[in-house]
């Protein structure tokens, strides 16, 4: 395939340029077509929210209200006629056309007046759609309507989850800035890795892969809903994957060229073919494992995550295609010109070879220490709570945060930022009194104006944030009490969040089983081993658990969230993040495992062909020595991409980026640098055991049977000369 690509260079370049240009031209339309919703068809919370939004002009349901507040000076009361009427007028003026509101003047409910009588709050539901920008410019218009309004000398303020989250206040933006930041960091790492202009080639492949992936995502949006979060994943995770794959092949090409390529055209071709035959095969295997991990999301009964799986698997597939077709052409056309200064290089990194040798000499100690450290990092994951972040963690400074602090301090209850909306065709006042009696409920309102065709809506909110244990328990009691009554439908954000968690984590065993089975089968067939894939699965699982533990410490418990992100503890991990982290991190971590194991197996077969009896320890040293620096650079590039992702001003995305960044660092250091070589050394000849089909080569021998001939890097095509090449000293290039 590589020889064909090199023989049709102009065609290959033209095809990829056309695809990338089409992706760039249509990226705006693609982003506009991304879905903003997170629906859960068939779930009771979704059904209640759909009913409320249908009857009340698209207001409420899952979408949290905006909160309008005023606190009058000492000596005045918010329920005075003058204050009450002025505040109600301001709220009516701020409510967008088609919206609904509730204030003390319109309901007479004391739940909207603070215990000391000085503060009052109103709930405003603008009409809107679904997702992070459900209200469009409505929050800005509401703020503008009350800007400068003072009642009894006190300013009127506006807050709420849509404003605090940074999603509906104009803070959320396209991923262009983050992508440029990640690309700049990648260029620095590539420059240090290649020490020359060759660093530009992986960036160029990424510049082709990302818009091409967006082009395919655009086609996907025309047949199914695709979540808005895909744009961040394609731009930033896609950047890291594309660069990593190109880095792997370009590094191997440089090694093969230094050893045997030579300056003549035939030598240039042979070096590229050898790199594609060995490193390209590892890239193909890595891309398959990443795609399989993400494709497992499609089995979830959650359209939001299913779309992430559909679109996410396109990233590695496109990156693999670019790496195996366009990259060889770029290396042939300009690789030698850009790779300066030309000098003979050692294929093994001295530092990583030394680390591998120390690990293989004391594998038990290395395995125990590395395993203990990973388990210690993973331990906090046992206390993980999933749900929406606490409201107090969404805003940091600014007017919305100040106003919400005043509401919370006045004793209205933190849960007022996300009430439970209960629809009934019965008597709403009686329903409100019944639900107000549930422990943990801070307030209920049943506005007379919230009536459409005989359907009435009651809002209920908890004293504690629904993200906390106490708030979650109170929400559960309210939902159970409401749904036990005939003709009552309980929805709102807290109800749908619980349904989301049940849908995602109820299917967790199925997802884990699908990922494990598919990954095992791919690795087993490619590595020709039973136990190497088992080891890889175990290490990846522990690595993901360590990332969970770190994100619980940083975000749920707040150890470092203020220092790193200037944000207090969220109290919970966003409900969809752990599943997305597992799918992405499991696949990305397997990348490094595949890179290393492929090189270890190649060294094992080469040593066995030379007659070396005990090959495992030396193969580990060679494999780690030749991939350690590469894996470190690749992991650093992905880590910088996640750092760029963490600058998105949305708390959910920051949590996701933190988990992925920590997971990649842990995986590339503790797991691949210590645990993997130690366990491969301890397993010895068992690493290479593989049962063959009846009538084929006899199984179990591994090192001295015909299996050697099956390895494409040793005995197929031009790579058959690798044994001879390894025995020869590098030839300096001329010309």
pLDDT at position 735 over 50: no
Extract the tokens encoding 460.
Answer: 């209920």
Residues 659, 661, 662, CA angle at the centre, nearest 5°? Answer: 70
Q: What is the pLDDT of residue 510?
A: 74
Average of pLDDT values for 432-454?
Answer: 90
pLDDT-wise least confident of 75-84, 156-165, 228-237, 725-734 = 725-734
Q: Can you tell me which residue has the tokens 């880590």?
A: 639
Q: In angstroms, rounded to a whole number, what is the distance separating the alpha carbons of residues 183 and 192?
A: 14
Spatial distance between the Cα atoms of 640 and 250, rounded to a whole number of angstroms: 20
CA distances from 485 to 422, 479, 495 (A): 11, 10, 16
Where residue 700 falls (left for φ over 0; alpha for ψ -120 to 50; beta otherwise) is: left
High-pLDDT (> 70) share of the chain, %: 87
Residue 346 pLDDT level (bands cut at 50, 70, 90):
low
Q: Which residue has the tokens 């066995």?
A: 608
Does an H or E element contain 155, and which? strand 154-155
- The residues near 365 (Cβ < 8 Å, ≥ 6 apart) are none
| Cα–Cα distance list, 50 to 53, 64, 115, 300, 702 (Å) | 5, 14, 35, 21, 60
Q: Would you say 297 and 230 are in contact if contact means Cβ atoms under 8 Å apart?
A: no
Q: pLDDT grade, residue 635 (50/70/90)?
A: confident
Most confident of 71-80, 160-169, 561-570: 71-80
Instruction: Give pLDDT tens digits for 103-154.
Output: 998 888 889 999 999 999 999 999 877 655 667 788 888 988 988 889 988 9
Distance (Å, whole) CA 391 – CA 572: 11
Other CB atoms within 10 A of residue 544 CB: 24
- What mean pLDDT comes out for the span 220-247? 84
The pLDDT score that the predictor gives to residue 122 is 93
The pTM assigned to this predicted structure is 0.76
Nearest to 59 by CA among 107, 103, 100, 106: 100
Of 169-183, 497-511, 512-526, the poorest mean pLDDT is in: 169-183
Q: pLDDT per residue over 642-696, tens digit each?
A: 888 787 767 778 888 899 999 888 888 888 888 888 998 888 888 888 876 443 4
Cβ contacts of 660 within 8 Å, gap of 6 or more: 237, 547, 581, 584, 585, 588, 638, 642, 645
The upper half-sphere exposure of residue 416, i.e. CA atoms within 13 Å in the direction of its Cβ, equals 31
Torsion angles phi and psi, residue 544, rounded to 5: -65, -40
* Cβ–Cβ under 8 Å, residues 557 and 569: yes
User: In what helix (H) or strand (E) does residue 154 lie, and over which residues does it extend?
Assistant: strand 154-155
Tell me: pLDDT of 528 over 60: yes
Q: Which residue has the tokens 């050697």?
A: 708
Measured between its terminal Cα atoms, the distance across the chain in Å is 28
Beta strands in 446-533 (DSSP E): 451-452, 455-462, 488-490
Q: Which residue is associated with the tokens 């660069």?
A: 243
Given a cut of 90, is residue 539 above it in pLDDT? no
β-sheet bridge partners, residue 421: 459
Q: Which of 116-120, 270-274, 489-493, 575-579 has the lowest mean pLDDT?
A: 575-579
Distances (CA, A) of 6 to 260, 279, 462: 18, 17, 66
Q: Looking at residue 694, what is its pLDDT?
A: 40
């Amino acid at each position: 395939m590589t020889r064909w690509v090199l023989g049709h260079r102009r065609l290959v370049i033209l095809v990829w340029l056309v695809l990338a240009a089409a992706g760039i031209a249509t990226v705006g339309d693609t982003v506009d077509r991304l879905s903003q919703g997170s629906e859960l068809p068939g779930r009771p919370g979704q059904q209640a929210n759909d009913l409320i939004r249908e009857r009340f002009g698209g207001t409420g349901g899952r979408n949290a209200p905006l909160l309008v507040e005023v606190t009058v000076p000492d000596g005045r009361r918010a329920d005075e006629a003058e204050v009450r009427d002025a505040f109600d007028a301001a709220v009516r003026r701020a409510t967008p056309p088609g919206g609904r509101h509730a204030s003390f003047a319109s309901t007479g409910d004391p739940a909207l007046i603070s215990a000391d009588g000085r503060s009052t709050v109103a709930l405003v539901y603008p009409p809107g759609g679904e997702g992070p920008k459900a209200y469009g410019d409505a929050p800005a218009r509401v703020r503008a309507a009350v800007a400068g309004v003072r009642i009894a000398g006190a300013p009127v303020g506006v807050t709420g989850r849509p404003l605090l989250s940074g999603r509906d206040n104009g803070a959320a933006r396209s991923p262009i800035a983050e992508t440029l930041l990640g690309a700049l960091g990648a260029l620095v790492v590539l420059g240090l890795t290649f020490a020359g202009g060759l660093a530009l080639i992986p960036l160029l492949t990424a510049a082709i892969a990302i818009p091409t992936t967006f082009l395919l995502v655009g086609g996907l949006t025309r047949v199914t809903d695709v979540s808005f979060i895909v744009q961040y994943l394609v731009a930033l995770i896609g950047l890291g994957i594309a660069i990593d794959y190109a880095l792997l092949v370009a590094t191997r090409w440089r090694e093969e060229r230094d050893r045997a390529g030579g300056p003549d055209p035939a030598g240039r071709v042979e070096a590229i073919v050898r790199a594609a035959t060995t490193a390209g095969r590892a890239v193909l295997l890595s891309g398959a494992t990443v795609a399989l991990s993400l494709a497992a999301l499609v089995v979830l009964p959650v359209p939001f995550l299913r779309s992430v799986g559909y679109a996410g698997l396109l990233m590695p597939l496109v990156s693999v295609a670019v790496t195996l077709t366009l990259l060889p052409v770029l290396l042939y056309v300009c690789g030698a010109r850009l790779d300066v200064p030309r000098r003979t290089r050692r294929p093994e990194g001295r530092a990583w070879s030394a680390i591998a040798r120390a690990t293989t000499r004391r594998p038990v100690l290395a395995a125990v220490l590395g395993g203990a450290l990973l388990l210690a990092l993973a331990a906090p994951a046992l206390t993980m709570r999933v749900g929406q972040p606490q409201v107090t963690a969404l805003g940091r400074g600014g007017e919305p945060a100040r106003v919400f602090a005043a509401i919370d301090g006045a004793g209205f209850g933190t849960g007022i930022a996300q009430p439970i909306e209960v629809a009934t065709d019965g008597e709403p006042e009686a329903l409100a009194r019944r639900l107000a009696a549930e422990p943990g409920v801070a307030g209920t309102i049943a506005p007379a104006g919230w009536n459409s065709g005989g359907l009435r809506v009651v809002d209920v909110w908890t004293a504690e944030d629904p993200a906390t244990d106490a708030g979650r328990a109170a929400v559960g009691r309210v939902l159970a009490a409401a749904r036990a009554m005939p003709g009552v439908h309980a929805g709102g954000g807290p109800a749908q969040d619980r349904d989301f968690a049940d849908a995602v984590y109820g299917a967790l065993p199925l997802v884990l089983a699908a990922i494990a089975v598919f990954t095992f089968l791919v690795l087993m067939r490619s590595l020709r081993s039973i136990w190497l894939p088992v080891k890889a699965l175990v290490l990846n699982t522990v690595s993901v658990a360590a990332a969970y533990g770190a994100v619980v410490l940083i975000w749920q418990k707040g150890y470092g969230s203020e220092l790193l992100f200037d944000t207090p503890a969220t109290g919970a991990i966003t409900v969809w993040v752990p599943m997305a982290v597992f799918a992405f991190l499991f696949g990305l971590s397997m990348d490094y495992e595949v890179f290393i194991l492929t090189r270890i197996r190649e060294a094992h077969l080469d040593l066995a062909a030379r007659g070396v009896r005990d090959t495992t320890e030396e193969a580990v040293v060679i494999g780690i020595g030749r991939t350690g620096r590469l894996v470190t650079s690749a992991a650093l590039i992905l880590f910088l991409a996640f750092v760029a992702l963490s600058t998105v001003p949305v708390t959910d995305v920051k949590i996701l980026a933190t988990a992925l960044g920590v997971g990649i660092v842990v995986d590339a250091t503790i797991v691949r640098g210590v645990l993997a070589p130690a366990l491969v050394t301890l397993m010895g000849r068992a690493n290479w055991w593989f049962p063959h089909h009846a009538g084929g080569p006899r199984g179990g021998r591994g090192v001295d049977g015909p299996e050697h001939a099956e390895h494409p890097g040793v005995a197929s095509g031009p790579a058959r000369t690798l044994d001879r090449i390894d025995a020869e000293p590098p030839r300096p290039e001329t010309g």
